[in-house]
Structure 1
Amino acid sequence: MALATSISSPQLRHCSSSVPPPRRRPWRRLRPAAAVAASATATPPSEGNIVIVGAGVAGLATALALRRLGVGAAVLEQGEALRAGGTSLTLFKNGWRVLDAVGVADELRAKYLRIQGMRMRSPAAGGRDLREFSFEEEAPGQEVRAVERRVLLETLASKLPPGTISFSSKLKSIAEQGPDGTLLELEDGRQILSKIVIGCDGVNSPIARWMGFSEPRYVGHMAFRGLAEYADGQPFEPKVNYIYGRGVRAGFVPVSPTKVYWFICFNRQDPGPKITDPVALKSEALELVRGWPSDLLAVMRSTPEGAVVRTPLVDRWLWPGLAPGASSRGGRVVLAGDAWHPMTPNLGQGACCALEDAVVLARRLAPAAAGGGAGAGVVEAAMRAYETERWARVFPLTARAGLVGALVQWENPAVCAARDGVVIPRLVRLGPFLEHTNFECDLIEPAPQSP
Structure 2
Amino acid sequence: MGGSAVVVGGGIGGLAAAIGLRLIGWEVTVVERAPVLGDAGAGISLHANGIRALDILGVGGAVRAAACPQYTGGTRVPSGSWLARMDGAALERELGTPIVGIPRAALHRLLRGALPSESLVDAEATSVDSSDPSRVRVSTEGGVLEADLVVAADGVGSRLRAQLFSRHPGPVYSGSTVLRAVTQRPVELDTDFELTWGKGAEFGHIAFADGRAEWHAVLNSPPGIRHTDALAEMRHRFGDWHAPIPTLLDATHPDAVLHHDIHELAQPLPAFTAGRIVLLGDAAHAMTPNLGQGACQALEDAVVLAAALTTEPTIESALAHYDTERRPHSQSVARAARQAGRMGQQLSNPLAVALRNTALRLAPSRAMVRAILRHAD
After TM superposition, the score normalised by the length of structure 1 is: 0.77
String of CA shifts for 1:43-88, please: whole Å, max 9, x gaps. Answer: xxx2xx3110011101110111111122221111112356673311
- Structure 1 residue identity aligned to 2:248: V
The 5 Å alignment of 1:309-348 reads 309-317=258-266, 319=268, 323-328=269-274, 331-348=275-292
60, 64, 81: which is aligned to 2:15? Answer: 60
**SS of 2:133's equivalent?**
helix
Query: Residues 250-399 of structure 1 correspond to what in structure 2 (within 5 A)?
Result: 250-268=203-221, 270-274=222-226, 280-317=229-266, 319=268, 323-328=269-274, 331-366=275-310, 378-399=314-335
4+ long deviations beyond 4 Å: 81-84
- Compute the displacement of 1:107 (Å): 1.5
Find the aligned partners of 1:173 and 1:137 in 2 and give their Cα distance. Answer: 47
Structure 2 counterparts to residues 234-249 of structure 1, below 5 A: 234-249=187-202
Deviation at 1:410, TM superposition (A): 1.1
Distance 1:99 1:251, change over 3 A: same
The correspondence of residues 102-251 of structure 1 with structure 2, limited to 5 A, is: 102-124=57-79, 127-137=80-90, 140-142=93-95, 143-167=98-122, 169-188=123-142, 190-212=143-165, 213-230=168-185, 233-251=186-204
Deviation at 1:366, TM superposition (A): 4.2
Equivalent-residue separation in structure 1 for 2:325 and 2:15 (angstroms): 21
* Structure 2 spans left out of the alignment, 5+ residues: none
Could you tell me how far 1:430 is from its partner in structure 2?
1.6
- 1:387 CA drift (Å): 0.7
Q: Equivalents in 2 of 1:211, 1:62: separation in Å? A: 20
- RMSD value, Cα: 2.1
- Check 1:337–1:141 CA distance in 2 against 1; reply closer, same or farther (3 A cut): same
More displaced 10-residue stretch of structure 1: 236-245 or 336-345: 236-245
Q: How far apart in 2 are the matches of 1:237 and 1:113? A: 14
Which residue type is aligned with residue 362 of structure 1? A
Give me the whole-angstrom Cα distance separating, in 1, the residues matched to 2:201 and 2:39.
28
SS of alignment partner, residue 114 of structure 1 = strand
**Which protein, 1 or 2, shows the higher relative CO under an 8 Å CA cutoff with sep ≥ 6?**
1
**What secondary structure, in the 3-state scheme, does the structure 2 residue paired with 1:140 have?**
helix
C-alpha distance in structure 2 between counterparts of 1:420 and 1:104, whole Å: 39
2:349 — aligned with what? 412
Q: Distance in 2 between matches of 1:77 and 1:137?
A: 39
Determine the C-alpha separation between the residues in 1 that align with 2:103 and 2:20. Answer: 21
Match of 1:51 in 2: 6
Partners of 1:258 and 1:426 in 2: how far apart? 32
- TM-score, normalising length: structure 2: 0.92
Shift of 1:171: 1.5
In structure 1, the gaps of 5 or more residues are: 1-19, 23-45, 369-373, 440-451
Counterpart CA distance in 2 for 1:354 and 1:75 is 16
Give 1 or 2: higher helix fraction: 2
Structure 1 window deviating more from structure 2 (197-206 vs 292-301): it is 292-301
Q: Contact 1:318/1:341 (CA < 8 Å) preserved in 2?
A: no
